[in-house]
Amino acid sequence: MTSDDRLRLIFHGAIVMLVGLMCGLPTVLEEGPEALRDWHTAHEALIMMGVWILAMSSVVPALVLEARDAKALRWSLLAMGYGFTVGLLAQGVTGARAFEPGTSLGSVFAFFPSTLGILGAVMSVLLTLKGARAALKVAPPG
């Protein structure tokens, strides 16, 4: 992975984290436990996703991945970060559940990006495991 790729991950991780921090603001203004829970979920989850992307920007140089897999790892991290960003923001705004399909437009708009985020998260973990295993195989003993 090039240093430009690492910088892009840092940049996008910071964006996801910033959106997560900003999702904490409605918790001060919202009334009712349900609305508060939606915004708290967005706040905490997006901060966590931003930190995950930032941490991965430091981990990827240690992984041994083919160019295609490294590109897939970058895209899966971005899909995770922005999928959850859109899905959880939609959940906070509309009150529709981001993790269960529904028939309303709000629930569809929250569910599908969240599904993309889940797929991106799983793919990034699998590719990280693949790259770490390959790095362990080529590492000198000791």
The parent domain of residue 68 ranges over 3-134
Phi, psi torsion values for 113, nearest 5 degrees: -65, -35
Domain membership of residue 127 (yes or no) is yes
Cβ pair 87, 119 in contact under 8 A: no
50-94 residue pLDDT tens: 999 999 999 999 999 999 999 999 999 999 999 999 999 988 888
In this structure, what token pair is assigned to residue 45?
């989850």
Helices in the chain by DSSP H: which ranges? 3-22, 26-29, 33-59, 67-94, 105-138
What is the share, in percent, of the chain residues with pLDDT greater than 90?
65
Q: Residue 141: its pLDDT value, please?
A: 74
In a domain, 141, yes or no: no
Kindly state whether residue 16 falls inside one of the protein's structural domains: yes
Please tell me the least confidently modeled range out of 20-34, 55-69, 110-124: 20-34
Distance between CA atoms of residues 40 and 136, nearest Å: 39
Residue 72 domain flag: yes
pLDDT at 107: 83
For residue 125, being part of any structural domain is answered with yes
Q: Is 23 contained in some domain?
A: yes
Checking if the pLDDT of 142 tops 70, the result is: no
> Smallest Cα–Cα separation from 12: which of 105, 77, 84?
77
- Return the percentage of the chain with pLDDT > 70, whole number: 95
The Cα 12–Cα 78 span in angstroms is: 7
Determine the pLDDT at residue 45. Answer: 95
How much is the pLDDT for 43? 94
Q: Comparing C-alpha atoms, which of 49, 66, 60, 63 is closest to residue 14?
A: 49
What's the total number of domains in the chain? Answer: 1
Q: Is residue 87 part of a domain?
A: yes
Q: How confident is the model at residue 35 (pLDDT cuts 50, 70, 90)?
A: low
Determine, yes or no, domain membership for 140: no
